[in-house]
């Protein structure tokens, strides 16, 4: 596809056309909760600032300010026979503001609907282009990138929205740096050692932006990134096999880089929770589409991001209905978590932004739906009885629990089934 323009700088993915799923791209005190279990602070109430006095880290680009505010209550185990909630996890690849107003738009939408999301921040979005030679990407020239560096103005705006996102209770993960998806420098061919270098550089750009920009009086990011960073998504969903050993060594708890999965309950790979984008119904077609905005685009306009505008109303509706069809299939059957990937982009007139916002409005309405970050979902998974998670994992796509939830999730007596030592594969 070639390099993206500066205003089209947020990493995209590759999509396959007809009859195939496309490859995707790119503490403090707990707030009180509403009856549906969502934190009221994230639903329009006053946002609590961290109570701990900031403790600057390194050059002051980041600071430890205490436990993250606006978090859900401590996860509780499902009781035997209890129907699981429906989890929906919205995530954003790149997570930079390029003057389109999409970052603040979805921060507001999240607040309006009482939900949390994950923002996979590209490290290069906090590195000024004038300092691009500080980036040494594996198998690529120094300073190279397949996404554009941000202008200083947009870098400053991105910093502000990342601060706000964390204080609102959202997660800051990583989308790594240069978004190399093709050729000899593609992330698909990177070794574990090269992934480690890429991660170290991404962390360095986030934790040294004051030094690199010279903006020493600007407020720090209010979190310790070494603690905050527990997962990410690779460019174009490539290279996971060699990334996972490094992720495990670094203590990451999940990875969202699988090139496509099914709407089933997840398992672990190499000790790390594996959260793939999923195949979901694509209205009007017999095949499914991957649950990411760019993959819907790829099947509608054959990778064109500026197709004729007369297509937009129908495509917007189709995208919205695809998200909702995936949601309903899980909600009404196996309750598998629903993973959606997005980019802050105005492709085809911004119809995919409109579609995902309309879908989240409808998905967030039922009281037994929890729209959370990947971090919050991992916390819930790790709190559950291993037997019940194994039971949930046995349900196929669109399969209702045999005999109903009460019978299906009733744990066997200890004398008949010894306690398991591991709930997951790998």
Adjacent-strand bridge partners of 268: 273
In the predicted model, what is the mean pLDDT of the chain? 88
pLDDT-wise least confident of 310-314, 395-399, 419-423:
419-423
Distance CA 171, CA 255 (A): 14
Other Cβ atoms less than 10 A from the Cβ of 349: the count is 17
Distance CA 189, CA 227 (A): 28
Distance CA 243, CA 194 (A): 9
Query: In the 3-class helix/strand/coil scheme, how is 52-77 assigned residue by residue?
Result: CCCEEECCCCEEECCCCCCCCCCCCC
User: Which CATH number does the domain housing residue 151 bear?
Assistant: 3.20.20.370
pLDDT band of residue 422 (cuts 50, 70, 90) is: very low
Q: Is residue 288 part of a domain?
A: yes
- Judge contact between 363 and 369, C-beta under 8 A: yes
Q: What is the pLDDT of residue 5?
A: 34
Q: Is residue 311 part of a domain?
A: yes
Q: Is residue 342 part of a domain?
A: yes
- Judge contact between 294 and 11, C-beta under 8 A: no
Q: How many residues are there in the chain?
A: 426
Q: Is residue 59 part of a domain?
A: no
pTM, entire model: 0.88
Distance CA 3, CA 242 (A): 25
Q: What is the mean pLDDT of residues 347-375?
A: 97
Q: Is residue 67 part of a domain?
A: no
pLDDT digits (tens, 9 = 90+) for 180-215: 999 999 999 999 999 999 999 999 999 999 999 999
Q: Is residue 49 part of a domain?
A: no
- Total tally of structural domains belonging to the chain: 1
Q: Within 13 Å, how many C-alpha atoms sit on residue 390's CB side?
A: 13
Per-residue pLDDT for 420 more than 90? no
Closest listed residue to residue 276, CA positions, set 288, 285, 284, 268 = 268
Look-up: residue for tokens 């880290």?
57
pLDDT band of residue 411 (cuts 50, 70, 90) is: low
- Rounded to 5 degrees, what angle do the CA atoms 55, 59, 64 make? 25
Q: Is residue 421 part of a domain?
A: no
- Judge contact between 263 and 339, C-beta under 8 A: no
Q: Is residue 14 part of a domain?
A: no
pLDDT-wise least confident of 24-38, 40-54, 59-73, 123-137:
24-38
Residue-number span of the structural domain to which 225 is assigned: 85-408
- Rounded to 5 degrees, what angle do the CA atoms 161, 367, 400 make? 115
- Classify 332 as helix, strand or coil: coil
Per-residue pLDDT for 71 more than 90? yes
């Amino acid at each position: 596809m070639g390099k993206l323009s500066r205003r089209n700088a947020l990493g995209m993915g590759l999509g396959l056309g007809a009859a195939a799923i496309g490859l995707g791209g790119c503490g403090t005190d707990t707030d009180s909760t509403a009856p549906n279990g969502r934190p009221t602070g994230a639903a329009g109430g006053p946002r609590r600032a961290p109570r701990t006095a900031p403790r600057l880290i390194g050059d002051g680009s980041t600071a430890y300010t205490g436990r993250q505010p606006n978090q859900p209550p401590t996860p509780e185990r499902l009781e035997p026979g209890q129907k699981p909630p429906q989890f929906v996890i919205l995530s954003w690849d790149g997570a930079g503001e390029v003057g389109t107003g999409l970052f603040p738009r979805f921060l507001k939408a999240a607040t309006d609907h009482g939900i949390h999301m994950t923002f996979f921040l590209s490290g290069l979005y906090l590195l000024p282009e004038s300092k691009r030679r500080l980036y040494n990407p594996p198998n690529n020239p120094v300073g190279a990138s397949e996404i554009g560096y941000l202008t200083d103005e947009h870098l400053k705006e991105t910093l502000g929205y990342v601060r706000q996102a964390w204080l609102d209770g959202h997660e800051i993960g990583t989308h790594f740096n240069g978004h190399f998806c093709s050729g000899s420098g593609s992330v698909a061919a990177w070794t574990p050692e090269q992934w480690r270098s890429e991660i170290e550089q991404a962390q360095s750009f986030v934790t040294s932006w004051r030094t690199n920009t010279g903006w020493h009086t600007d407020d720090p990011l209010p979190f310790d990134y070494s603690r905050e960073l527990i997962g990410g998504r690779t460019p174009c969903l490539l290279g996971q096999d060699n990334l996972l050993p490094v992720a495990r060594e670094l203590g990451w708890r999940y990875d969202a880089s699988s090139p496509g999965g099914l709407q089933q309950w997840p398992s672990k790979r190499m000790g790390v929770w594996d959260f793939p984008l999923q195949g979901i119904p694509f209205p009007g077609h017999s095949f499914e589409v991957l649950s990411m905005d760019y993959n819907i685009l790829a099947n509608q306009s054959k990778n064109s991001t500026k197709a004729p505008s007369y297509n937009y109303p129908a495509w917007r509706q189709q995208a919205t209905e695809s998200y909702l069809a995936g949601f309903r299939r899980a909600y009404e059957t196996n309750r598998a978590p629903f993973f959606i990937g997005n980019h802050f982009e105005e492709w085809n007139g911004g119809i995919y932004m409109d579609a995902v916002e309309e879908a989240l409005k409808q998905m967030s309405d039922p009281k037994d739906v929890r729209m959370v970050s990947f971090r919050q979902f991992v916390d819930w998974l790790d709190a559950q009885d291993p037997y019940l998670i194994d039971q949930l994992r046995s349900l196929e796509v669109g399969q209702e629990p045999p005999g109903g939830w009460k019978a299906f999730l009733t744990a066997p007596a200890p004398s008949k089934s010894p306690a398991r030592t591991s709930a997951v594969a790998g």
